Structure 1
Amino acid sequence: MSERVRRAAGAVLAAALLLASCPPADRAHDDPAGRAMNGRQAAVHRVEQLRVKVLESLPHDSKAFTEGLEMAGNTLYESTGLSGASSVRAGPPDKPPTARVVLPALLFGEGITVPGRTLWQLTWRNRIAIERDVTTLAELRRVPYPDEGWGMCFQKSAHRLVTSDGSARLTFRDPGTLAKTGEVTVTEEGRPVTELNELECADAAVYANVLPTDRIVRIDPATGAVTASIDASGLLRDDELVPGSTLNGIAAVPGTDQFLITGKLWPRMFNVVLVSARQTGGRGD
């Protein structure tokens, strides 16, 4: 064994002995993974259990494969998917859309958001995002988007976009260029929450549909910790369900504590508030 190898082995052994002599708390403090675990353990008992309380049932296009939903002012924007059937729409939430654009047949529409005077629309695996005029929905430009497009929302307080890709990761992006500026892993009681889909930024939180469930999670984007689990099951009757009709679509109603929620191929959309799961009564009480 050469002198250089002996010196390297000795350094590794010394470091291991020093680490073993540190108290557990000191090791967690010095180790990023340990700090993350401590944060997860601290958050174990802070996950609120909520459910939706229906205020109103609204009509929804039962052929819309909903991928994105957002309210900006009094206008509801919706993006739909499926190759050859993707679109983006805009109009009052309780009436048929007043503007509608169909995507080229090869594009699969995904999440949308309105960060200002334009609208961003993701595509699933087409590797592009489309910027549109917020009024006419006309395409203004396309930019490269190397990740899978799933959900998207605009976090106004941090002036950034938040996007999902079906994993447990939320990615932060520049609202003008879509360049990545950071990311966080979403965890609930220390475990990653995967299949994050449609997103909504409301106040300081991010809400995410969890595919293919009837559950929405509220996330602290600063830490990735789930702060609430929201039960949105039982909204449709059994005779209204068809293959593929998964909950997907959540939009905060500006100036209120209400949300609009719907799903892929759902014949209805619901105006809801979030209440404690401990409260008694039916979905529409």
Structure 2
Amino acid sequence: MRRVLLGLVAAVTAVTAGVAACAAATPPEALGSAAAVRPVVLAEVPHDPTAFTQGLELSPDDPGTLYEGTGLAGHSQLRELDAATGAVRRAVPLPGSLFGEGITVVGPSIWQLTWQDGVALEWDRATFTLRRQVPVGGEGWGLCAEPGRLVRSDGTDRLRFHDPATFAETGSVAVTLDGAPVTELNELECVGGAVWANVWRTDRVVRIDPATGAVTAVVDASGLLDPARRAETDVLNGIAHLSGDEYLLTGKLWPAAFRVRLPG
């Protein structure tokens, strides 16, 4: 995910898509004993094909509003989107050349990670003004919020827990499938005591029990975009819980997002 610089995007997207397609060709059943599911597509929603999507989350108090964090050094943004049309309502750039990563909503704030810059940003959700930057050890990839804590991925096999007020790290857990580590965990979504994670360079999303780190389900999301549209895009990355068993899935530079049902 994060080895792509702006000037190289056009050259590497086809290669990245090819890698992802090859990885997705292995059925999720081959990954182990976790439940294997396919998303049921309910609808397609437009998505800005220039958005290098790093984080996606539905507003907790307005189902018509999505928040999206985008990446690439010097071009990263925090955005507010119309959930029905995908239209960008407002956007604010990250300071300087910060490389934006995952986002999550915590009350009146939006926390946004950076990749290798060593900081997390706290934004005022109402005004989209930057409140502060706080130090973070290691890389930032994905971010989501559970009651009383934040969950961060850093490209390894670990989920790291943070205080939602100070961003201080409070613990971590190793993620495993049948005892083997699951690495390159990417964009995160916390839902009902579980953590969903995109797995970089694949079309898979895994469901994780954050208490044990065990993967409890593997979603094979290959084939959402037809080959013609997928050829000019990057990896699957972006999962937002809508309600019940419905989610929104998209990817970096994708021209569409997909409202799907993920069977339990």
Fold conserved (TM > 0.5)?
yes
Q: Distance in 2 between matches of 1:146 and 1:117?
A: 25
Moved beyond 4 Å, runs of 4+ = none
Structure 1 or 2, whichever has the larger Rg, is 1
Does structure 1 residue 146 correspond to structure 2 residue 133? Answer: no
2:108 to 114, 117, 120: 117
1:103 to 94, 112, 121: 94
Match of 2:245 in 1: 257
What SS class does the counterpart of residue 201 from structure 1 fall into? strand
Match of 1:203 in 2: 192
Q: How many positions carry a matched residue from both structures?
A: 229
TM-score (norm 2): 0.84
What SS class does the counterpart of residue 263 from structure 2 fall into? strand
Residue identity matched to 2:174 = T
RMSD of Structure 2 on Structure 1 (CA): 1.3
2:77 to 79, 83, 87: 87
* Aligned-residue offset at 1:105: 4.0
* Aligned-residue offset at 1:136: 2.3
Q: Distance in 2 between matches of 1:48 and 1:123?
A: 32
Q: Flag structure 1 segments of 5+ consecutive residues without an equivalent.
A: 1-43, 277-285
What SS class does the counterpart of residue 49 from structure 1 fall into? strand
Q: Distance in 1 between matches of 2:232 and 2:135?
A: 33
113-122 or 91-100: which moved more? 91-100
CA contact (8 A) 1:184 1:224 kept: yes
Q: Distance in 1 between matches of 2:152 and 2:128?
A: 21
Does structure 1 residue 270 correspond to structure 2 residue 258? Answer: yes
Residue identity matched to 1:266 = W
Q: How does 1:1-285 map to 2 (within 5 A)?
A: 45=33, 47-72=34-59, 73=61, 74=63, 75-95=65-85, 96-156=87-147, 159-242=148-231, 245-253=234-242, 255-275=243-263
Q: Distance in 2 between matches of 1:107 and 1:165?
A: 16
CA contact (8 A) 2:203 2:220 kept: yes
What SS class does the counterpart of residue 83 from structure 1 fall into? coil
Identity %: 53
What SS class does the counterpart of residue 240 from structure 1 fall into? helix
CA contact (8 A) 2:233 2:254 kept: no
Residue identity matched to 1:88 = L
CA shift digits 1:115-136 (9 cap, x unpaired): 2110000110111111001122
What SS class does the counterpart of residue 228 from structure 2 fall into? helix
Q: Distance in 2 between matches of 1:54 and 1:102?
A: 32
Q: Flag structure 2 segments of 5+ consecutive residues without an equivalent.
A: 1-31
Q: Distance in 1 between matches of 2:263 and 2:144?
A: 23
Residue identity matched to 2:102 = G
Q: Distance in 1 between matches of 2:128 and 2:55?
A: 14
CA shift digits 1:154-210 (9 cap, x unpaired): 012xx1000000000000110011111110000001100000000000001000000
* Aligned-residue offset at 1:244: 5.3
CA contact (8 A) 1:242 1:265 kept: no
CA contact (8 A) 1:99 1:136 kept: no
Structure with the bigger percentage of strand: 2
Match of 2:13 in 1: none
